[in-house]
Amino acid sequence: MIVTIDGPAGTGKSTVARILASRLGFEFLNTGAMYRAVAYACLQRGIDLNDVQAVGHVPATLEIVFANNRLILDGCDVTEAIRGQQVTQFASVVAANEVVRRQLVELQRAAARGVSLVTEGRDQGTVVFEKAECKFFLTASAEERARRRQRELQEKGEDVSLEELLAQQELRDERDETRACSPLKPADDAVIIDTTPMSLEEVAAHLEKIVRDRIA
């Protein structure tokens, strides 16, 4: 069984998907982290992220491994590094690269072969797993999404204003929603859930009930 969770940044996709996978006993795939890893690698190598051809060559040179909820890139744990502000800012640029997307989509589909999977991202229900049995699309108000990101950064000792985060978020949303390749949008058969008034535990519990009802 494949469960997809899509939505913009700050809606709780990764946390909810991880909780849901654990409760269901499914594998968990964080596709957003894969794009962040490519962006991180480009920045480390000094590659211009607007150089479409150069960026498109990068995924084939990387070894990306998920282990115990950590992302290992070429043998190094970059789980925290890829959540930094600079990588976050450029991840959507990398995600708009069609060559990068084609390569990572193949890796994502390969990860689902022979297993039950909860996967999160921006095109999981619309492109990568069009025939998934359960599809969800999470939303939240712009302010709530920015507040969640601010809390995450504060926990890491980074102080960024809410206004700056809202501006970055608006730019990223525009990139995600208007890109020619796999734009961010809910699948026609996705259950749309506004997470603004809910804790992420509550969201995960709500999704779990829907999935178990469908399994039954």
Structure confidence at residue 85 (pLDDT): 84
- Is 168 in a helix, a strand, or coil? helix
Query: pLDDT confidence of 28, banded at 50, 70, 90?
Result: very high
pLDDT digits over 71-121, tens only? 999 999 999 999 888 898 899 899 889 999 999 999 999 999 999 999 999
- Report pTM: 0.90
Q: Which domains does the chain have, with CATH numbers?
A: 2-215 (3.40.50.300)
Structure confidence at residue 82 (pLDDT): 94
pLDDT digits over 159-197, tens only? 899 999 999 999 889 988 998 888 899 999 999 999 999
Q: Which residue has the tokens 């890109």?
A: 179
Q: Give the span between the Cα atoms of 85 and 165, in whole angstroms.
A: 10
Binning the chain into helix, strand and coil, the percentages to the nearest 5 are 55, 15, 30
Q: For 25, how many CA atoms within 13 A lie in the half-sphere containing its CB?
A: 1
